[in-house]
Every structure is written in C-alpha cells, then in structure tokens.
C-alpha cells in the first residue's frame, strides 16, 4: 500500500513541483502516471522510494513514513528504474550489473546465478552477459537497468518511461511481464508519455498537470475524456479517435485498444448477420 497525503515539494531553486498531491495505490495495482513535461510525474514517484522527501505532507509505504527510513531500506521493497539508464549503471559487465543489488541484499550465490540468468533471458540480454553496459544502445541499456531491478523481485516496481528506445516486440514483452507481475500481486507504477502502450495495458491512470492530479481512474475512461486529455496535453489513443469519428454509428466511446475494438466489431458483425 502506498499513500501520499497532501504532499508538497519545492526544489532548492524555488520551483514548486508538487502542490497538494494525495493518492493511494493499493497492493497489486497497476497505475500509469501521465502528463506533459514538468507536470510533476517523476518528482512524485521519487517520493515513493525516498529519493525525495516531501516539503510538506507525508508518504507512507506499507504504513511506514518515507521520512523515517533510508533509501537503502526502502529499495528492498521498491524497485526504481530511471528514465535515463546511465543514472544507475556503473558495473563493468551486464552480468555484474544485474547481480549487484542481489549481492548487497545478501542473496545466496546459487540464487544470484539463478535470478541473473532469469532476468537476462526475460529481457533478451543473455548475449551481452560479459559486455560492458556502456557499449550497448540506449534501448539495451534501458533493459539492463530494468533487469537489475527485476532480478531482486521487489514488491513495488516503478518504471520511469520504460518504453523509450524499445521496439514493438520489446514493448509487448514488457506489457506481458507487467501483467504477470500483477498476477503475482506486485504493485507496478509507470511514468510514461506512451499513450498507445497505456491503452494496450489499460491500467488505472492518474493525469497530472502543474504538480497536481487532474484526474484518476480506469484508462478507458480517462483517455477517452477529450477535455481531460486536452488539459494534460495528451493525444488520445488512435483507436479511441477512430471510435470517436464513428460515433454516429452508435459505437461505444470508451474503446482504447485493438483487443476491445476487435470484440466490439465482431459482436456488431454477428448481430448484422
């Protein structure tokens, strides 16, 4: 359980990034935080693992205030993948990078080997096991950073712009893995501009504007509300735009992905035969 209670945060330069944000994320939920650059998305999630402490208000992770525990202790429960992977990569090889946290958390050698192999296979990185992460492409480095967090199996996983630099195949693998994490009861929070990825995942969505939460609810309700997405400077998913243009055909207006669109079209075709 994550609880943000009326939190405010002002950076040392005087910029107020959060202004009275209150939100609750239950264990096992999947939430996408969306909004334009500077809306406060990354600032908000950095409060969950204690990298930032609220200027005013309180953040609780499983009932414990982040002001009262260290980042090191919170990191065992909260895995955080930065938008820029270079901010968290430093080991000489990909294998060492993925194993680093496991060693710090005192996992056994046998379990470290097993978890590293699992994470590398999951994210198609096995061939780079002995390669320096800094020799890889931006998208590959992003996957290394993700593997290094997923390897220790935290209860809460925060992904900041996880789809940047990833092709469609890798995005689909990520989507399937997030679904798997949710099935296992993990809490997943992503910060993203990738509206099509969010549409395919159909999670709970929080829209942020100028350090505040503008709206919070199911993706198919939030992303089809044209007034809300316009205020948050977000372009609606393509599927929802198509259904909007076909509104005179009496089609539902809360469709955002191809899976739901297929079901609606099949039902309409069956009804007409």
Q: Residue 136 has what pLDDT? A: 93
Q: Residue 214 has what pLDDT? A: 96
Question: Residue 52 in 3-state DSSP?
Answer: coil
Q: Residue 255 has what pLDDT? A: 93
Q: Dig out the tokens for 17 from the structure.
A: 């990034």
- Phi then psi for residue 45, to 5 deg, are -70, -25
What single-letter DSSP state applies at residue 32?
E
Q: Which residue is listed with tokens 């710090």?
A: 104
Cα-Cα-Cα-Cα dihedral sign, residues 19, 189, 28, 74: negative
What is the rounded end-to-end Cα distance, in angstroms, of the chain?
49
Spell out the alpha helix ranges (H) of the chain.
41-46, 71-75, 94-104, 109-122, 138-150, 168-183, 195-201, 219-222, 226-231, 238-245, 258-272
What single-letter DSSP state applies at residue 68?
S
Q: Residue 10 has what pLDDT? A: 96
Cα separation of 143 and 131, whole Å? 14
> pTM of the full predicted structure?
0.91
Q: Residue 250 has what pLDDT? A: 83
Q: Residue 168 has what pLDDT? A: 87
Q: Residue 138 has what pLDDT? A: 85
Q: Dig out the tokens for 88 from the structure.
A: 């968290």
Q: Residue 117 has what pLDDT? A: 95
3-class SS shares of the chain: helix, strand, coil, % to 5: 45, 20, 35
Q: Residue 166 has what pLDDT? A: 82
Strand partners, 207: 34, 215
Domains in the chain and their CATH numbers?
A: 1-71+192-234 (3.40.50.300), 237-273 (no CATH)
Burial class (CB in 10 A: 0-12, 13-18, 19+), 34: buried
Please name the helix (run of DSSP H) or strand (run of DSSP E) that holds residue 191, with its range, or none: strand 187-191
Cα separation of 175 and 83, whole Å? 17
What single-letter DSSP state applies at residue 130?
T
Q: pLDDT under 70 in the chain at which residues?
A: none
Q: Which residue is listed with tokens 């400077």?
A: 233
Q: Residue 67 has what pLDDT? A: 92
What tens digit of pLDDT does each residue of 160-212 get?
Answer: 998 888 888 888 888 888 888 888 899 999 999 999 999 999 999 999 999 99
């Amino acid at each position: 359980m994550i609880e943000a209670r009326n939190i405010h945060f002002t950076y040392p330069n005087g910029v107020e990034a959060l202004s009275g944000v209150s939100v609750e994320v239950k264990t096992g939920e999947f939430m996408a935080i969306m909004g334009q650059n500077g809306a406060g998305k990354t600032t908000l999630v950095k409060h969950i693992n204690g990298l930032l402490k609220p200027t005013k208000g309180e953040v609780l992770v499983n009932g414990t205030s982040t002001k009262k525990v260290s980042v090191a202790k919170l990191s065992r429960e909260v895995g955080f993948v930065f938008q820029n992977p270079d901010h968290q990569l430093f080991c000489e090889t990909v294998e060492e990078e993925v194993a680093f946290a496991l060693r710090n958390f005192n996992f056994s050698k046998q379990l470290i080997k097993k978890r590293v192999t699992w994470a590398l296979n999951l994210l198609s990185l096995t061939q780079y096991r002995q390669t320096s992460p800094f020799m890889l492409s931006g998208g590959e480095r992003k996957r290394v950073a993700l593997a290094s967090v997923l390897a220790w199996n935290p209860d809460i996983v925060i992904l900041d712009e996880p789809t940047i630099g990833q092709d469609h195949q890798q995005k689909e693998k990520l989507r399937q893995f997030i679904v798997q994490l949710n099935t296992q009861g993990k809490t997943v929070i992503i910060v993203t501009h990738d509206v099509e990825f969010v549409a395919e995942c159909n999670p709970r969505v929080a829209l942020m504007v100028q350090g505040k939460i503008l709206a919070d609810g199911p993706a198919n309700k939030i992303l089809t509300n044209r007034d809300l997405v316009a205020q948050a400077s977000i372009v609606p998913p393509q599927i929802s735009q198509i259904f909007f243009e076909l509104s005179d055909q009496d089609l539902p207006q809360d469709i955002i992905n191809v899976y739901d669109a297929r079901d609606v079209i099949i039902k309409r075709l069956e009804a007409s035969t």
